[in-house]
C-alpha cells in the first residue's frame, strides 16, 4: 500500500524505478517462493520450506506433505503521509495493522501473527502510546491474529512498520495473474469515500468554502479514511470458492489497481462508470461542494477511480460463478449479524459490485453513458504514487 | 537492538515504560508462542501453529509431529540514531539486515527469510538505492537467508525496518532464562570496538585533538561499527551443542545484557574485568587519545561494558561443557577457512572468551585486580537506552 496524503516534494524517481531495482537485486530465486512481493500483495512461501529448513536439511518445497504456504507482508505508515492531524493514537495504531492485514486479505489468506516496529516522537505520551498499542491490538485480534513481537525506538516522525504473517492452503491462494478474458471484474465496498474524507480532513479550500469540515462531516464517514476495515473475512471466504481468478487490494486507487490486474494477467478490462459503487454520504457531501449534482457525480467518479486509501478487494471471477459469489456475501452478512459469527463492526454490511469485464485486448477502457450513446475511453493510469508527483 | 548514536533530546519516558505498556496490551497469550519478543531477541512460534492454522483448524501447538519453531524479529534503523555520516548506502543496507540477523543468532536459529520496509529521503539517488539493496542482499545471503519482500516509500529520514524469519528445532532454541549458578559466562568476539569507532566517526573532540579521525583510523577497525557481523554461524553451532543455558546479543551493551540474562534467569554474575576481550587496535587508538596506557585500558573497559553496537553473543554454559564449546569454535574456524565451508569474511576469526560465572546471589559484580588485592563492585546497570538520556 502507498499513502493517500499528498506531499509537496518533487521527485523524478518513481516507485516503479525503485521496485525495479529491488527486483533485480533481490531476484526471488528459490523454488519455495510461490510469489514474491513485487508481484502480489504478499510474498507466499511454501510451508515445507520452513519444515525442511528447521530439520536442518536444505530448504526445499517438497520435503513433506503440507500443501500450504505462509504469506508475508510489511508496510510502513508515518505521520507525514498517512495520518491527517485529527487522527487519534488509537486510529493510528489501527491503521498500521489494517494496511498490513489488507495485504493478507488480498491473497485470500488468514492473518495469524503481527509484528510492530514503532518509532515514537518525543511529544508522544505514555497514554498515547497505550492507545496506539490498543489500536494495533484491537485490529489484529478482530481478524484472528496476534501481536507476537516488535521494536520500539525514538523517531522524529511517528513511524510504524507492521509485518503480518498469514497462512493459506496453496490451492486457495489468489494471485494477480490469472484473470481471463470474459471474467467479471468486481470490487467490495465503496470507492472514493477515503478520498473525499481526506479532502475534508486536509481542509480543502472548496470544502471549507462550502462549510464542510471535520466538525460538520459525519464521524462515521471520516472513518472510511482513518479506520480502514481490511476485507479479511471477504478475502478468506472468496478464496474458498475457487471462483476467483485474480485479486488485490485497492489501497493505491481503483484505476491503478485495475491496470495492475490487467498487466499481471495479460488482459484488458472494460469498466462501467455507472457500476462503480460509491457511498450516498460521499455524494451528499460533494453535492454541497459542487455547483450541481452532475458535477458532484463526476467528482465522485474521479475520487473513486484515482484516489487511494480505500482498502477494498478488487477481484475477477468466471461469469458462471456469479451466483456462488453472491451466496458467499449473503452468508458473510448472516454470520456477521449472528452473535456467534464474524466480528463485523457495528452496522457493517459486506458487499461487492460487478463493475466490468476482462477482455482480450490489453487496454483498460472506461465506459460511460452519454445521452443517447455509450462512450468508451481508455482509463487514465493514475493513482497514488508517493514518488511520482 | 537499540541504536548506538547519541541523541540530544531529553525524555523522561524510558524504553522499559514503553515495553511494559506493550507487554500489557499485547499479552502474548496463545500457547504456540514459546517466547514473546519482550523476553528474548525473537518471538518463537511453534511451527505446528502455522500448520494447523493453514489447514483451517483452530491454531494449536500439537496439530502434527513437528518439533520446530519459527523465529521472528523486527528492528528499525534510521539515519539520526544509527548511521554516522560516513556510512555508505551499502553499509546502511548491510546494517539493517545484520541487526535483525543478530536476533536470530542470539536464539541459536537459522535465518531463512527477510523483509525490508525502506523509507527513502528525497536526496537518495537510484544508484544509492541500488547500493543499499545490495548491502541488504549481501548480508542476508551470506548467512543463508533470502529477501522475500518489502515496502518502499518516501520518508524525510532514511529509515529501514527489517523483519527476519528464522527456524530452529524446539530443543535447540536458546532463551535468556535458563542460566544456573555456576555456569560460565562467555562472549564472542571483542567488546567496545564499536564504541571506540563511534567516537571516531562522530569526531569526538578528544579524538580529534589526538589526530585520530576517520582518515587516520584503520578502515577495518571502523567496520566494527559500520558493518556489524552477526554471529549467525556461532549461534547456530552453539545451539546444537546442548551446552548453552542462556544467550542474547550484546547490541545494547555488555553490562545491560549481563543484567538482562541475570534478571531473566534469576541469578547474578561475577564478571572479571581482565577477561573481557578487547581488541588490540582499540587499545592502540585509545593510547593515542589517553594520557597513559593505564587510563587507555580503563577507558576501553568502560567502552566494552557500557556502549552498544557490538553485535556479539553473550551466553552461559555449564562449566563441564567448556571443552565442547572450545571444540565448536575450533571447527567453526576450520570450516571458515575451507573453501567449501562457512562464508566468513576475509580475515575473520570466530572466537569466544569466558568472562565470568553465574552466582546464586542476584547481583552482578565486576571483579578487578588491584595491586595486591581483588576488588568486587556492583556493575553499573547502564548501556544504550535511546529513551533514557
Can you tell me the distance from the alpha carbon of A88 to that of A226, in angstroms, rounded to the nearest whole number?
9
Angle CA A39–A42–A48, to nearest 5 = 105
Co-location of A146 and A263 in the same domain: no
Co-location of A123 and A249 in the same domain: no
Is residue B57 a part of any domain in this protein? yes
Q: Is A46 annotated as a binding residue?
A: no
- B18 contacts B41 by C-beta, under 8 angstroms: no
- The predicted-structure confidence for A10-38, as pLDDT tens digits, reads as follows 445 777 788 788 888 887 555 556 666 56
- The predicted-structure confidence for B84-94, as pLDDT tens digits, reads as follows 989 999 999 99
Co-location of A235 and A349 in the same domain: yes
**Any idea what the CATH number is for the domain that residue B149 is in?**
3.30.1330.10
What pairing do the DSSP bridges indicate for beta strands B146-154 and B110-120?
parallel
Q: Is A29 annotated as a binding residue?
A: no
In chain B, % of residues over pLDDT 70: 90
Co-location of B201 and B154 in the same domain: no
Cβ of B113 within 8 Å of Cβ of A26? The answer is no
Co-location of B368 and B220 in the same domain: yes
| Cβ under 8 Å to A: B residues 134-163 | 134, 136-137, 146-157, 159, 161, 163
ipTM beyond cut 0.95: no
* DSSP H helical ranges for B76-125: 79-82, 89-105
How far CA B195 is from CA of A300, B221, B226, B296, B301, in Å, comes to 57, 11, 11, 14, 11
Look up the domain containing A195 and give its range. 184-378
Can you tell me the distance from the alpha carbon of B49 to that of B46, in angstroms, rounded to the nearest whole number?
6
Tell how far CA A323 is from the center of its chain: 24
Overall domain count for chain B: 2
Instruction: Single out the residue in B149, B172, B195 at which a domain terminates.
Output: B172
What region, left, alpha or beta, does residue A36 occupy, with left being phi > 0 and alpha being psi -120 to 50 degrees?
beta
Residue recorded with cell 487514465: A380
Can you tell me the distance from the alpha carbon of A44 to that of B47, in angstroms, rounded to the nearest whole number?
16
How many angstroms away from the CA of B291 is the closest CA of chain A?
36
Cβ of A148 within 8 Å of Cβ of B120? The answer is no
Is the pLDDT score of A384 beyond 50?
Answer: yes
Which is it for the CA torsion B275, B276, B282, B288, positive or negative?
Answer: negative
Can you tell me the distance from the alpha carbon of A24 to that of B292, in angstroms, rounded to the nearest whole number?
53
> What residues in B contact A2, CB-CB < 8 Å?
153
Give the model's confidence band at B18: pLDDT under 50 very low, under 70 low, under 90 confident, else very high. confident
Co-location of A147 and A196 in the same domain: no
> What residues in B contact A161, CB-CB < 8 Å?
74, 76, 117, 151, 161, 163
Instruction: Single out the residue in B126, B147, B172 at which a domain terminates.
Output: B172
Is residue A5 a part of any domain in this protein? no
What pairing do the DSSP bridges indicate for beta strands B352-359 and B268-272?
antiparallel
Which grid cell is B270?
Answer: 561475577
Nearest in space to B123 (alpha carbons), one of A13, A268, A162, A127: A13
Is residue B282 a part of any domain in this protein? yes
Instruction: Determine the 3-state secondary structure of B218 from DSSP.
Output: coil
* DSSP H helical ranges for chain A: 15-26, 47-54, 79-82, 89-105, 126-142, 193-201, 205-209, 219-226, 232-239, 254-265, 280-289, 293-306, 322-337
Nearest in space to B95 (alpha carbons), one of B85, B83, B104: B83
Chain A interface includes B17 (CB < 8 A): yes
Is residue A8 a part of any domain in this protein? no
Q: What value does the mean pLDDT of chain B take?
A: 89
First-to-last alpha carbon distance for chain B, in angstroms, is 17
Which grid cell is B309?
Answer: 553496537
Instruction: Determine the 3-state secondary structure of B113 from DSSP.
Output: strand
Is residue A244 a part of any domain in this protein? yes
Contacts of B341 (CB under 8 A, 6+ apart): B334, B335
How many angstroms away from the CA of A371 is the closest CA of chain B?
43
What pairing do the DSSP bridges indicate for beta strands A146-154 and A184-188?
unpaired
How many angstroms away from the CA of B43 is the closest CA of chain A?
6
Can you tell me the distance from the alpha carbon of B43 to that of B168, in angstroms, rounded to the nearest whole number?
12
Chain A interface includes B385 (CB < 8 A): no
Co-location of A165 and A212 in the same domain: no
Instruction: Determine the 3-state secondary structure of A378 from DSSP.
Output: strand
Co-location of B166 and B194 in the same domain: no
> What residues in B contact A126, CB-CB < 8 Å?
13, 17-18, 21
Co-location of A140 and A192 in the same domain: no
How many angstroms away from the CA of A90 is the closest CA of chain B?
12
Co-location of A234 and A123 in the same domain: no
The pLDDT of residue B388: 42
The pLDDT of residue B21: 86
Is the pLDDT score of A63 beyond 60?
Answer: no
Is the pLDDT score of A59 beyond 60?
Answer: no
Instruction: Single out the residue in A121, A145, A172 at which a domain terminates.
Output: A172
Question: Bigger pLDDT: A177 or B9?
Answer: A177
Which contacts of B212-220 are long-range, i.e. CB under 8 A and separated by 24 or more positions? B212/B285, B212/B288, B212/B289, B214/B86, B217/B285, B218/B281, B220/B347
Is the pLDDT score of B307 beyond 90?
Answer: yes
Is residue B17 a part of any domain in this protein? no
Can you tell me the distance from the alpha carbon of B275 to that of B281, in angstroms, rounded to the nearest whole number?
17
Co-location of B227 and B313 in the same domain: yes
Which grid cell is A256?
Answer: 491503478
Question: Bigger pLDDT: A55 or A145?
Answer: A145
Q: What value does the mean pLDDT of chain A take?
A: 89
Is residue B18 a part of any domain in this protein? no
How many angstroms away from the CA of A387 is the closest CA of chain B?
7
- Establish, for the pair of chains A and B, how many residue pairs have beta carbons separated by less than 8 Å: 264
Can you tell me the distance from the alpha carbon of B332 to that of B183, in angstroms, rounded to the nearest whole number?
23
Is the pLDDT score of A341 beyond 80?
Answer: no
Q: Give the bridge partners for B153, in sequence order.
A: B119
Please state which of the ranges A30-39, A242-251, B63-72, B136-145 shows the lowest mean pLDDT. Answer: A30-39
How far CA A80 is from CA of A4, A8, A188, in Å, comes to 10, 11, 28
The pLDDT of residue B36: 61
Which grid cell is A318?
Answer: 468466471
Co-location of A188 and A155 in the same domain: no
Chain A interface includes B169 (CB < 8 A): yes
Beta strands across the sheet bearing A184-188: A244-249, A313-317, A184-188, A352-359, A268-272, A364-369, A374-378
Cβ of B18 within 8 Å of Cβ of A163? The answer is no
Is the pLDDT score of A58 beyond 60?
Answer: no
Searching chain A, which residue's CA lies closest to the CA of residue B109? A54
Is residue B15 a part of any domain in this protein? no
How many CA within 13 A on the CB side of residue A291?
1
Instruction: Determine the 3-state secondary structure of A111 from DSSP.
Output: strand
**Any idea what the CATH number is for the domain that residue B296 is in?**
3.90.650.10
Amino acid at each position: 500500500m502507498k499513502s493517500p496524503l499528498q506531499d509537496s516534494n518533487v521527485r523524478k524517481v518513481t516507485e516503479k524505478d525503485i521496485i525495479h531495482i529491488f527486483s533485480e537485486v533481490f531476484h526471488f530465486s528459490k523454488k519455495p517462493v510461490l510469489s514474491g512481493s513485487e508481484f502480489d500483495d504478499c510474498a507466499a512461501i511454501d510451508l515445507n520450506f520452513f519444515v525442511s529448513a528447521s530439520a536442518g536439511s536444505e530448504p526445499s518445497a517438497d520435503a513433506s506433505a503440507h500443501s500450504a504456504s505462509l504469506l508475508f507482508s510489511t508496510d510502513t505508515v508515518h505521520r507525514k503521509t498517512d495520518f491527517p492531524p485529527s487522527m487519534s493514537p488509537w486510529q493510528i495504531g489501527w491503521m498500521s495493522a489494517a494496511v498490513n492485514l489488507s495485504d493478507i486479505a488480498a491473497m485470500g489468506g488468514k492473518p495469524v501473527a503481527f509484528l510492530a516496529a514503532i518509532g515514537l516522537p518525543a511529544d508522544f505520551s505514555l497514554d498515547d502510546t497505550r492507545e496506539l498499542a490498543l489500536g494495533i491490538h484491537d485490529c489484529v485480534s478482530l481478524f484472528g491474529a496476534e501481536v507476537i513481537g516488535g521494536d520500539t525506538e525514538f523517531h522524529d516522525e511517528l513511524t510504524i512498520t507492521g509485518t503480518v504473517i498469514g497462512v493459506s492452503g496453496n490451492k486457495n491462494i489468489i494471485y494477480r495473474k490469472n484473470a481471463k478474458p470474459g471474467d467479471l471484474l468486481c470490487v467490495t465496498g465503496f470507492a472514493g469515500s477515503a478520498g473525499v474524507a481526506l479532502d475534508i480532513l486536509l481542509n480543502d479550500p472548496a470544502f471549507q468554502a462550502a462549510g464542510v469540515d471535520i466538525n460538520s462531516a459525519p464521524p462515521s464517514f471520516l472513518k472510511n479514511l482513518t479506520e480502514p476495515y481490511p476485507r479479511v473475512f471477504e478475502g478468506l471466504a472468496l478464496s474458498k470458492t475457487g471462483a476467483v481468478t485474480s485479486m488485490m487490494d485497492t489501497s493505491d486507487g481503483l484505476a491503478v489497481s485495475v491496470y495492475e490486474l490487467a498487466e499481471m494477467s495479460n488482459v484488458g478490462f472494460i469498466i462501467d462508470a455507472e457500476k462503480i459503487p460509491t457511498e450516498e454520504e460521499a455524494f451528499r457531501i460533494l453535492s454541497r461542494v459542487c455547483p450541481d449534482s452532475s458535477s458532484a457525480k463526476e467528482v465522485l467518479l474521479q475520487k473513486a477511480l484515482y484516489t487511494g486509501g480505500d482498502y477494498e478487494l478488487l477481484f475477477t471471477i468466471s461469469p458462471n460463478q456469479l451466483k456462488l459469489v453472491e451466496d458467499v456475501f449473503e452468508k458473510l452478512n448472516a454470520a456477521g449479524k449472528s452473535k456467534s459469527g464474524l466480528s463485523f463492526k457495528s452496522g457493517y454490511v459486506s458487499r461487492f459490485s460487478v463493475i466490468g469485464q476482462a477482455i482480450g485486448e490489453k487496454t483498460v477502457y472506461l465506459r460511460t453513458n452519454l445521452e443517447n450513446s455509450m462512450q468508451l475511453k481508455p482509463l487514465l493510469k493514475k493513482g497514488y504514487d508517493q514518488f511520482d508527483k
